[in-house]
Homo-oligomer: A and B are copies of this chain.
Amino acid sequence: MSQRLTIALDAMGGDHAPDMVIAGAEIARERHPDVQYLVFGDAARIEPLVAKRPALKAVVQVHHTTEAVAGDAKPSVALRAGRQSSMRLAIDAVADGRAACVVSAGNTGALMAMAKFVLKTLPGIDRPAIASFFPTLRGESIMLDLGANTECSAENLVEFAVMGSVFARQVLGVSEPTVALLNIGSEDVKGNDTVRAAAARLRETTLPGRFHGFVEGNDIAQGTVDVIVTDGFTGNVALKTAEGTAKLYAESLKRTFESSVMARIGYLLARSAFKKLRMRMDPRRYNGAMFLGLRGVCVKSHGGTDAYGFANAVGVAVNLAVNGFNERIKEEMQRLGPATPLPDTKAAAV
């Protein structure tokens, strides 16, 4: 068992858990036949779901616990009271080396708090960040931080830039990824002290990629760069604004096709082309927010996702593990040396 990649699954996190988790594991098993799973949660509910899937049963070990972190639990409460929860036990499995990755569709704040507390950050990394893929006109980009750190110092942003460019290289396979800071204008004088100080530092840093400078909100979907770096407040607002706008567009498109008989017939004719558009825009394709900067791979699936989306989150974890992502981060941070304090930066808040 030790030669194969092992992934710990929190079977009780997410709106449709544990059914969605086990069905997702079955899809992931077909895609990654060499992976095995440690599944944490209520055995009475999980075992029957696994028993129905003989091929999955062969690669799954169920670890029983009745406790689970509530979707609305405060991170601090989950950290204190959730030591026997399915989420915590799955993270523990990564900490003690039984698994290489943990995947959960549960409470994001609790998952980040527990993962940070149990796994700790990588050497040279002050704060972990949440990263995710974005569909763009050119293909895919990644953006971080998407909500782990409400306020960030310039040093934090520099670390995010390093992690993001290693990610783009190792996982997306871009040999010289372009990296930019999200700002409200592309000129050097724009923005606040923090982004300007981070830009000054990144201009002097040899990244595993190329620093592009500043980009604006519209550059995200444009695919201007491979990696977009921002603080967790701005990143979270941008992520959710993009999701909301895509939904508005999709809903308006639906109303358009329902607005007349001719439009309905038109839709029927263009149906297969539309299927491709829907697949490209499918949020489940981009499911799986990565917690970067921890000693271990931790992937957060969207809470409302289905089995297909959950399997994609498992795929992201597999990718991070087999590409030796964390080893590269460590090397890059060592190469950069210890961070020297920067002038004019906002103090990092908790």
Residues of A within 8 A of B (CB): 72, 74, 135-137, 147, 150-151, 182, 184, 187, 189, 191-193, 216-222, 230, 232-234, 236-253, 256-257, 259-260, 262-263, 265-274, 276-277, 280-281, 349
Contacts and interface: CB of A to CB of B under 8 A. Distances in A.
B243 A241 contact: no
Contact of A249 (B238, B263, B276, B281): B281
Given A245-B246, A266-B266, 20 more contacts: A72-B187, A137-B251, A150-B184, A150-B192, A184-B236, A191-B233, A217-B238, A217-B242, A218-B244, A220-B245, A221-B247, A221-B248, A230-B237, A241-B242, A253-B253, A256-B274, A256-B277, A257-B273, A263-B273, A266-B268
Given A237-B182, A241-B217, A273 B248 contact: no
A205 B72 CA distance: 28
B218 A243 contact: yes
Contact of A270 (B237, B242, B248, B256): B256
A142 to B, nearest CB: 15
A89 to B, nearest CB: 26
Contacts of A192: 150-151, 233, 349
Nearest to A189: B74
Contact of A233 (B234, B269, B281): B234
Contacts of A236: 184, 216-217
A99 to B, nearest CB: 29
A78 to B, nearest CB: 13
A149 to B, nearest CB: 11
11 contacts: A147-B184, A184-B233, A193-B349, A216-B237, A222-B248, A245-B246, A252-B281, A253-B277, A260-B272, A262-B270, A266-B267
| Interface-central residue, A241, A253, A276, by most chain B CB under 10 Å | A241
A217 B239 contact: yes
